[in-house]
Amino acid sequence: MEEQLRSVYIKRTQKDYSLSLKLQIVKEVESGESTISTCRKKYGNFDWENQRPYAMEKTPEQRIMELEAEVKLLEKQKAFLEKQAYIADKKAIFFDMMIDLAEKEYRIDIRKNSPPEQSMTSAVRKKKL
Averaged pLDDT of the chain? 79
- Could you give the CA distance from residue 9 to residue 2 in angstroms, rounded to a whole number? 11
Domain boundaries, given as residue ranges, for the chain: 1-56, 58-111
Strands (E), 62-127: none
pLDDT in 10s for each residue of the chain, 129 residues: 555 555 677 777 767 788 888 888 888 777 777 777 677 777 776 666 666 655 668 889 999 999 999 999 999 999 999 999 999 999 999 999 999 999 999 988 888 766 666 655 655 555 655
- Could you give the CA distance from residue 99 to residue 111 in angstroms, rounded to a whole number? 8
At residue 53's C-alpha, the angle toward residues 47 and 54, to 5°, is 80
